[in-house]
């Protein structure tokens, strides 16, 4: 599992950093109102992608590794045929999403649909390259998309700072990267009648429903902020939320992306699966717990570095609440939900998502008018906590066993120690350095050192014996 992590982690980290750079470019070259409009358009893309593409990718990730190598290409052709057929309803959904947000024009429709189509196809071929272990093509594609998105976005927005330029730049970056991992497949509508297609539908449609509801639920707050407050507040909230969701995705996907296919290979051996899932949890906590706690401590200087001053008018409270919500959201999606997925009870995921959506909707209506952006962030956190508890309870009820190794408790204790000591040992307590990035780097090094020292004192993975033997 560690070897798989090291194969993909470097490019994933680079891709995540590029997202933060992209957010910084958007927020500094667009007004808060324009960024609010862009956020709503990209939200439409993600909702349509959940309906028309993402569930197919998830099904392929789960089902393809169990196939024989010679069957990979046929299965991939079936999956790609389904995605292309889904582009027809996607046209209507993009139009509907833009209409509901009062953003529908011919140009915004074409640009938004192009981003959806190029991203859907890019993500499909990227996942296929990873499953088929075309490692070099995967790495080059991720780097190409990341670099091209920054370069083209910066160039177009400097020349013409508007949302159409921002959307066009994203589409061009997906096209350039997609060409790197593109693999010709025999696509046919007749493939939708095959047994492989039925397997994708059986496994994926519940995921599609839950993914759609989750996509709406996790970003529903932006619609309500735009309606109850204004587009400028939507832009501010979306910028902060996008940074935190990006950090959460980076932290969790660095582990989940290479490790999940390895777990699915053990699906028929419960003992091996539970053991591997425990090791997966250990690795997940080792990276996610200190990273998210460290971000909360260093939230103010990091957001000052990435965003302009007008995006920081709400203070740090919104950031802390959203950070907790992002952690709970990712823990559920990348660990707790595995219990229902591996026990083949994905039919419960849409029900959990629908309940979470209704709860989030009720909380947003109640909390945004009196509390503004803090109310929206609180609704997000509460809804995700309830959804996590429901998924955990159903997984346990269906007989899945979550193994929690001793090493996890050592990691959590080390994280608590870091949270206690890092604020007192931050560099600004001892010396004034007027270069923000340098302050952040030094604080990160101090935090990692505290965490590592406590972990070593707790004899994590018997490291004391390893040091003595060396």
Predicted structure pTM score: 0.73
431 touches 387 (CB < 8 A): no
d(CA 466, CA 451): 19
Cα angle 127, 217, 79 (rounded to 5 degrees) comes to 25
Angle between helices 231-264 and 195-228 in degrees, nearest 10: 160
Higher local confidence (pLDDT), 7 or 163: 163
CB 234 within 8 A of CB 43: no
pLDDT at 115: 92
DSSP helix/strand/coil, 433:
coil
First-to-final CA distance of the chain: 24
What average pLDDT score do residues 221-230 get? 79
- C-alpha–C-alpha distance, residues 45 and 114, integer Å: 9
Question: What tokens does 268 get?
Answer: 């028929």
pLDDT at 186 over 80: no
Q: Identify whether the C-beta of residue 81 lies closer than 8 Å to the C-beta of residue 191.
A: yes
Report which secondary-structure segment, H or E, holds 196: helix 195-228
In the chain, domain spans: 2-404, 405-470
pLDDT reading at 25 higher than 80: yes
The per-residue pLDDT for 27 is 84
Q: Which residues contact 4 (CB under 8 A, 6 or more apart)?
A: 258, 259, 262
Averaged pLDDT of the chain: 82
Per-residue pLDDT tens over the stretch 105-119: 899 999 999 999 999
Longest alpha-carbon distance in the chain: 69
What's residue 420's pLDDT?
92
pLDDT over 70 at 21, yes or no: yes
Is the pLDDT assigned to residue 30 strictly greater than 70? yes
Of 228, 323, 338, which Cα lies nearest the Cα of 277? 338
pLDDT above 90 covers what percent of the chain? 16
pLDDT tens digits for range 125-138: 888 887 777 778 88
What pLDDT digit, counting tens, does each position of 267-280 carry? 777 788 888 888 88
pLDDT value, residue 381: 92
Token pair for residue 424?
Answer: 């007192």
Q: Can you tell me whether residue 31 is helix, strand or coil?
A: coil
* 294-307 pLDDT tens trace: 888 887 788 777 77
Q: Kindly state the average pLDDT of the residues 373-388.
A: 91
Going 118 to 120 to 124 to 127, the CA torsion angle's sign is positive
- Residue 459's pLDDT is 73
Site of tokens 């093509």: 137
Res. 97: pLDDT tops 90: no
Question: What's the CA gap between 133 and 129, in Å, rounded?
Answer: 6
- C-alpha radius of gyration, the chain, whole number: 22
Summarize the confidence of residues 227-254 as an average pLDDT: 80
Are 335 and 281 contacting, i.e. CB atoms less than 8 angstroms apart?
yes
For residue 417, name the pLDDT band (cuts at 50, 70, 90).
very high
pLDDT surpasses 70 at 463: no
Q: What's the average model confidence in pLDDT over 157-178?
A: 92
* Three-class secondary structure of residue 288 per DSSP: helix
Tokens of 219: 């970003």
Residue 464 confidence (pLDDT): 53
Asked if the model's pLDDT at residue 73 lies above 80, the reply is: no
Q: At 402, phi and psi to the nearest 5?
A: -95, 110
Q: pLDDT per residue over 4-13, tens digit each?
A: 555 666 777 7
pLDDT at 4: 56
pLDDT at 134: 77
- Label residue 57 by pLDDT band (50, 70, 90): confident
DSSP one-letter string for 321-389? HHHHHHHHHHHIIIIITHHHHHTT-TTHHHHHHHHHHHHHHHHHHHHHHHHTHHHHHHHHHHHHHHHHH
- Whole-angstrom CA distances from 25 to 115, 184, 312 are 18, 35, 16
pLDDT at 175: 93
* Residue owning tokens 């010679």: 70
């Amino acid at each position: 599992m560690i070897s798989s992590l090291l194969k993909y982690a470097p490019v994933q980290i680079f891709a995540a950093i590029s997202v933060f750079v992209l957010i910084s470019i958007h927020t500094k070259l667009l007004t808060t109102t324009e960024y609010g409009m862009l956020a709503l358009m990209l939200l439409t893309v993600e909702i349509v992608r959940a309906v028309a593409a993402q569930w197919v990718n998830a099904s392929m990730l789960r089902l393809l590794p169990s196939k024989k190598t010679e069957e990979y290409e046929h299965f991939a052709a079936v999956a790609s045929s389904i995605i292309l057929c889904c582009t027809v309803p996607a046209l209507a959904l993009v139009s509907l999403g833009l209409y509901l947000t009062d953003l529908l024009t011919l140009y915004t429709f074409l640009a938004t649909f192009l981003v959806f189509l190029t991203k859907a196809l890019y993500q499909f071929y990227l996942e296929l390259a990873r499953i088929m272990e075309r490692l070099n093509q995967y790495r080059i594609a991720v780097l190409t998309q990341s670099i091209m998105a920054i370069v083209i976005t910066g160039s177009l927005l400097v020349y013409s700072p508007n949302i159409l330029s921002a959307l066009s730049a994203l589409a061009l970056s997906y096209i350039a990267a997609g060409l790197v991992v593109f693999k010709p497949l025999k696509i046919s509508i007749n493939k939708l009648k095959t047994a492989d297609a039925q397997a994708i539908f059986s496994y994926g449609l519940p995921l599609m429903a839950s993914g759609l509801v989750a996509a709406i639920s996790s970003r529903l707050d932006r619609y309500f902020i735009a309606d109850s407050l204004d587009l400028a507040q939507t832009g501010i909230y979306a910028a902060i939320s996008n940074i935190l969701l990006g950090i959460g995705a980076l932290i969790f996907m660095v582990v989940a992306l290479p490790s999940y296919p390895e777990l699915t290979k053990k699906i028929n051996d419960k003992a091996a699966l539970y053991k591997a899932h425990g090791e997966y949890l250990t690795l997940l906590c080792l990276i996610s717990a200190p990273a998210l706690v460290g971000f909360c401590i260093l939230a103010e200087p990091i957001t000052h570095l990435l965003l302009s001053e007008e995006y920081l008018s709400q203070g740090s409270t919104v950031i802390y609440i959203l950070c907790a919500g992002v952690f709970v959201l990712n823990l559920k999606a990348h660990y707790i939900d595995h219990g229902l997925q591996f026990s083949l009870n994905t039919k419960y995921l849409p029900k959990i998502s629908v309940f979470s959506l209704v709860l989030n909707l009720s909380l947003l209506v109640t909390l945004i008018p009196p509390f503004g952006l803090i109310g929206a962030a609180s609704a997000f956190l509460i809804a995700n906590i309830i959804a996590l508890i429901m998924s955990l309870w159903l997984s346990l009820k269906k007989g899945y066993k979550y193994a929690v190794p001793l090493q996890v408790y050592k990691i959590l204790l080390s994280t608590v120690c870091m949270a206690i000591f890092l604020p007192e040992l931050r560099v600004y307590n001892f010396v004034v350095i007027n270069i923000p990035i340098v302050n952040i780097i030094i604080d990160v090094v101090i935090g990692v050192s505290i965490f590592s020292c406590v972990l070593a004192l707790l004899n994590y993975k018997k490291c004391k014996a390893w040091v003595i033997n060396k």
